Every structure is written in C-alpha cells, then in structure tokens.
Structure 1
Amino acid sequence: MKKFSFFWLLLTLILFVVACGPESGQPQMQGGEDKASEGTRESGGSNGGGAYLVGIDTTYPPFEFQVGGEYTGIDIEIINAIAESQDFEIELRPMDFVGIIPALEAGELDLAIAGMSITDERKEILDFSEPYFDAGLTLVVNADNTEVTSLDDLDGKVVAVKNGTTGSKFARENQEQYGYRIADFEDSPSMFLEVANGHADVLLEDYPVIAYAITRRDLELKTVGERLTDDQYGIAVLKGKNSDLLEKINAGLKELRDSGKYDEILKKYIDDSGL
C-alpha cells in the first residue's frame, strides 16, 4: 500500500513539473526576444530596425491626403523621393496632427513630415531639416462675408483653429489684443465646414492649404488680408536623436532640388491652383 501511494505521489510530481514547463512552440527566450527587438529599434527604424516610421496628417491637402485609399500629396511624394534617393525604407503612420510630436517623444515615430512649421518652441524638442516649403498663415472667411478683412475686425467674433498648429498658437497669443473667441477642431475639413456654414466667423490656416482646398473642392470660403506670418515647413526628428537620418533627409532634399524633382512635385499639386 505504501509503495502504491509512493508511485502515485511520484507520478503527480512529474505531471506537475511538466505542466509548469514551457508549452510546445513557446520558447523560453520569448522575454529575451522582446529585449532584442527593443535594442534593434534603438539602432535603426522604429519598425524593428528596418523601415523608419513617418508621422503624417492625411487631412492636410495638398500636402497629405488620401485618394482611393492611397496616401498622396506634396509631403508624401517628397519623403518617398528622399527615401529612394538615400536608400532607406519608410512606413507611413497617419494620425491627428496634435499627436505627432508626442509620438516622436514617446519613440513611436522616427520622423514627421506633416506641413509642420519650424518654430522656436518646437525647436526645443525637435530637430528640423532644411526648410522645404514657404507657407504663412492667412485669415479665411465665408465667401459672402464682407465684415472681416483683417485682425482688427475680429472683436467679438469666433475664430476656428486646428489643435496643435501654428494657427492655434497664433490665435491664443493674439486673442486678448483682438477680442475674439476661439473654437478648436481636430482636423481641417471640420474647421472649413464650420466657417462655410456660418457657425464660426473666420479660421486661421496656412495659405497654400486653404488656397488649394478652395480651388479643388469649391468651398464657400475666401482668403482676406495679407499673410499673417512667414512660416516655413520642415521635416522633424526628436531633438538629439536620429542625426544620421536627418543628414540623409537634408542630402535628399538637396538632391531633389538640384535634379528638378522638387519643382515637379510642387507643380503637380499647386501650380494650377494659383498659389
């Protein structure tokens, strides 16, 4: 009886050890593999050391938008051409503009090209490429609006802005001086619609973006007054990180300009819009 009990005790112990061991197809090095992936990520692109992850905002024509499920626009063609000329791979990651800089800070992106203006504030956390486009903010009103022609006409009015943009920053910095209220939006189309429908009096947008939108989409909007700023767009990486990548980006931009490819890209999207 004692031998029989000892046999079952030994069998139970064996079964317990087997059950606690690694399952078939689940190697014990799984944790080690995760760490290896993180190490690769630090030494190359965020996508496992291969393609660089690129933050974009696809609600921003003519720079970034979708046609038939495909990403297109000035920014898209520029970064694809740079990647080809400098022999590196990219993977586009669309997101709201306001989330792009936090994603760079969190290491979820390697670079961003999103019609992003180069500002002193952004330079505190980002390194920018050489400027690749001269932009600038402008006031935009309903096509029938005859009351607003400059900032001096905005007292008591509602100004629509897109979160995280230089337009939003400009509006907040000048709100007290000109006495308007601010309405925040997550994307440009919603902001355009708000003014076109008369729910907001004016919006602030980069001139090339709104000029393209008015021409191509027949929006009931118009620009008024002089450009308010002389912003320039740049391609961004996290400050102090990816310096080698930034060098490639600048080299690629120079090659695009020297070859005439840069002018070809701009002409494709904005020459016939009168910009």
Structure 2
Amino acid sequence: MKGFKFLLTLAVLVLFIAACGTDDGGASEKEGSTGEDSGGQTYTVGIDTTYPPFEFEDSSGNYKGIDVDLIRAIAENQGFEVKLEPMDFGGIIPALQAGQLDVAIAGMSITDERKKIVDFSEPYFEAGLTLVSQKGNNEIKTLEDLKGKTVVVKSGTTGAQFAQDNKDKYEYEITVLEDSPSMFQEVSNGNADVLIEDYPVIAYAIAESNLDLKIVGDRLNGDHYGIAVLKGEHADLLDMINTGLQELKDSGKYDEILNTYISE
C-alpha cells in the first residue's frame, strides 16, 4: 500500500511539473510576440545616440529620435520586436560583421563602399553634407577657403570620407573624433576651423542647443540614409523593413515621425 501511495504521489507530482512547464513555455513564447508572420522575433538594432535628431538619449534615459521611432514603427507594422544597442558610429558595421547586431539604423548614408559589406533598405531620408564654422568666422564660405585650415570630422562617416577624398585638392588638415558633440566643441573652442556634418543633424543641433556655430555655403553633396543588414544575411528581415517603411509612408506615419523632430 505504501508503494502504491508513493507511486500515486509521484505521478501527481510529475503531472504538476509538466503542467507548470507548459504554462511557463506558453508565457515565454507569447511574451514579446507581436505578429504572426515573424513569430515575435526580436532583432538587435545598432544606433548612435550622439546623433540627434535621428538618435539621442533624453534626460530620463529613454532613446528618442527619427531613427528610433522609425524602426520601432516598422517593427510594430511588421510584427517583430527590436532591442536597441547604442554604440559609436564607427563600430556599427564591424558589429554587424561580428554578428553582434542584426540591423543598423544610425543616419547611415548609402554608399558604394558600404554596399560591399551591407545590404541597404530603400532610402528613408535625403540629407547631404555641409560645412560648419564658428558664428564669428567670416573667412570661410566654400571649400576653396580651407587651404591651411583644420577640418574636424567624425570617424567612419561619409563626412570623414569626403574630407579625406578632397584633402589634397583643397590643402587642409584633418582631425578625426568619435562623436558629433566633440566635433561641435572642437570648432566652438577654436581648435579647428570647420567641421563637416550632415545638414539635418547640425541644423537641429544649432537650433536646439544654441551652439556658437553656423552653416556656411551650399550642401557639399546629396546623401540618402538607409537601414542596413549584413550583406547576404537577413533577406526576409530586409523585405519586412522595406514593406513596413513603404506602409508608413503611405499611411502618413512616416511624415508624422519626421515632423516630430524637424520641419522644413
């Protein structure tokens, strides 16, 4: 009888554990699931939080900006989730190559050089580079005025590449820094004569932070931003990103996001 009672108790215990395991598994699978097609897949997204109005961290420690709102809206539209991973811009493509990131959205210009490493979404923003000097500097108006001057740029950016490509032609020196605020400070302090930055970024920074800087001359080029995944990887994810981006544009949500941070 004791053996029977023991077996009966053991059977009940096994059934109880199995039931608990089923409940936990169901909750775990359901948690984070936002769409049928993707099964609630979570993708790690690289961002550069020193790049307002596209990405920044507010006073409460929350990530904000055009890129942040856009990738979250695309994820919601397409039924997947995102985990934001802030890092220096120059480390984003290496992180994609190392498998530490699935996606990058960081005001990243679509270039032939980057296309060798990543696959881009359809363009989501037209930017363009510009020269920026101290407000009181009236000597510099064009690239021709940079002879013997110091130009500061951010590592890994199209601005840095543009500066390098034109260095010999216009005979200036280059200083490379790791983030936009450091660039702004370098020119404000008079340690560099000009910086090269994406037009919407510096226009926003000057307006919001009352920097002692000004935009000079015309835009240096035409630039389009894209969302990136490692080349040859995540084709299905890239399809979802493009589909979601187009649906946001068609619905007016895309314009709503842009208008939250910038206006023409």
Residue 61 (structure 1) aligned to one of 31, 52, 56:
52
Q: Distance in 1 between matches of 2:261 and 2:41?
A: 30
- Aligned AA for 1:222? K
SS in structure 2 at match of 1:114: coil
Give the aligned partner of residue 170 of structure 2: 178
Give the aligned partner of residue 125 of structure 2: 133
Question: What are the equivalent positions in structure 2 for 1:77-156 lying under 5 Å apart?
Answer: 77-156=69-148
Question: What are the equivalent positions in structure 2 for 1:12-27 lying under 5 Å apart?
Answer: none
SS in structure 2 at match of 1:115: coil
Q: How far did 1:197 drift?
A: 1.1
SS in structure 2 at match of 1:100: helix
Q: How far did 1:51 drift?
A: 1.2
Give the aligned partner of residue 160 of structure 1: 152
Question: What are the equivalent positions in structure 2 for 1:112-261 lying under 5 Å apart?
Answer: 112-261=104-253
Give the aligned partner of residue 3 of structure 1: none
What is the CA deviation profile of residues 52-81 of structure 1, one whole-angstrom value per residue up to 9, with x for unaligned ones?
000000000000001120000000000000
Q: Distance in 2 between matches of 1:203 and 1:258?
A: 36
Percent identity reads: 67
Q: Distance in 2 between matches of 1:120 and 1:56?
A: 21
Give the aligned partner of residue 8 of structure 2: none
Normalized against structure 1, the TM-score is what? Answer: 0.81
What is the CA deviation profile of residues 101-124 of structure 1, one whole-angstrom value per residue up to 9, with x for unaligned ones?
000011110010000000000001
Displacement over 2 Å in runs of 4+: none
Q: How far did 1:239 drift?
A: 0.5
Q: Is residue 82 of structure 2 the alignment partner of residue 70 of structure 1?
A: no
- Aligned AA for 1:236? A
Gaps of 5+ in 2: 1-39
Q: How far did 1:50 drift?
A: 4.0
- Aligned AA for 1:241? E
Give the aligned partner of residue 14 of structure 1: none
Which has more radius of gyration? 1
What is the CA deviation profile of residues 142-186 of structure 1, one whole-angstrom value per residue up to 9, with x for unaligned ones?
000000000000000000000000000000000000000001110
RMSD between aligned residues: 0.8
What is the CA deviation profile of residues 197-219 of structure 1, one whole-angstrom value per residue up to 9, with x for unaligned ones?
11100000000000000000000
Q: Distance in 1 between matches of 2:48 and 2:255?
A: 22
Q: Distance in 1 between matches of 2:47 and 2:260?
A: 20
- Aligned AA for 1:66? E
